[in-house]
């Protein structure tokens, strides 16, 4: 098996670091299809083709963290999306552990982490099924030193907000947090605990937002909660509640 052992209190994981790859997610999927058993982290110093959500690019500059975790059959298929929330709260807790009290670190539905109301991290979940086995890759990008300027939502870096920590140091702290939260999640049988952590640190919960669902008209409503399946609950002006499974969320109502 490839990679070096990582010491965690919640199981055995391994870590492989590479100098350069197009995408740590893509590399993990290639290893999976070649027979890698999983519980493997892959990090890269340089990433030339980082992937964001919905086919967008993820700007990848040296000094930032590019990490992917490969898991094998982590849960039933209907609970796979939970892992985005597991990863997001793990990133939030990790950044907060290095931050100062004046900083506000929050999770933004469904797959971002915000630092002082600007995006500092994104998460991309990918999976492949082969020979009765489901391989899941959780890709995590964190802006440690650099952040893009031309983005859908305003971005920042840890360094820009006064959090000075190397990508390598951040990674090992994140790996331990992820191990803790994956254990707490219990293969999808205890999403309620992850959901509660997530709701306790949610960006703009209880506020009016603009929801852009692909192929549909924009809707404005109150971000009421997240349900037991991770769907956003949007309270519409007529008093009804709508489940949102995927969308671009804007917190300026006229956006």
> What's the mean pLDDT in 96-109?
95
CATH of domain 208-250: 2.30.30.100
pLDDT for the residue 175 = 98
- CA angle 17–47–91, rounded 5-degree value: 70
Q: Per-residue pLDDT tens for 180-216?
A: 999 999 999 999 999 999 999 999 999 999 998 888 8
The backbone region for 35, taken as left when phi is positive above 0, alpha when psi lies in -120 to 50, beta otherwise, is left
Task: Give the span between the Cα atoms of 192 and 199, in whole angstroms.
Answer: 10
Q: Per-residue pLDDT tens for 212-245?
A: 888 888 899 999 999 999 999 999 999 999 999 9
Task: Give the span between the Cα atoms of 254 and 127, in whole angstroms.
Answer: 35
Structure tokens, 253:
């109502």
Q: Per-residue pLDDT tens for 35-86?
A: 999 999 999 999 886 665 545 555 667 899 999 999 999 999 999 999 999 9
Task: Please tell me what DSSP assigns to residue 36.
Answer: -
Top CATH class, 4-200: alpha beta
Structure tokens, 183:
């254990």
pLDDT for the residue 40 = 97
The structural domains of the chain, with segments of one domain joined by +, span 4-200, 208-250
pLDDT for the residue 55 = 52
Helix (H) or strand (E) holding 198: helix 191-200
């Amino acid at each position: 098996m490839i990679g070096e052992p990582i010491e965690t209190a919640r199981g055995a994981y391994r870590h492989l670091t590479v100098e350069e790859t197009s995408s740590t997610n893509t590399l993990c999927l290639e290893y999976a299809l070649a027979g890698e058993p999983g519980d493997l982290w892959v990090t890269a110093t340089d990433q030339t083709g980082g992937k964001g959500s919905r086919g967008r690019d993820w700007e990848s500059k040296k000094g930032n963290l590019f990490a992917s975790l490969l898991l094998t059959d982590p849960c039933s298929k209907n609970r796979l999306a939970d892992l985005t929330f597991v990863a997001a709260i793990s990133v939030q807790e990790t950044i907060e552990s290095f931050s100062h009290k004046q900083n506000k670190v929050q999770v933004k539905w469904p797959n971002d982490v915000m630092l002082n109301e600007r995006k500092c991290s994104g998460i991309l979940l990918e999976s492949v099924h082969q020979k009765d086995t489901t391989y899941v890759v959780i890709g995590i990008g964190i802006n440690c030193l650099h952040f893009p300027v031309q983005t859908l939502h305003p971005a920042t870096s840890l360094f820009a907000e006064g959090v000075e920590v190397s990508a390598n140091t951040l990674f090992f702290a994140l790996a331990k947090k992820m191990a803790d939260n994956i254990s707490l999640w219990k293969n999808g049988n205890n999403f309620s605990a992850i959901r509660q952590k997530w709701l306790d640190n949610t960006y703009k919960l209880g506020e009016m937002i603009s929801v852009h669902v692909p192929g549909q008209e924009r809707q404005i409503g109150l971000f009421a909660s997240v349900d037991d399946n991770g769907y956003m609950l949007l309270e519409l002006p007529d008093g009804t509640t709508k489940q949102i499974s995927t969308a671009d969320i804007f917190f300026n109502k006229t956006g």
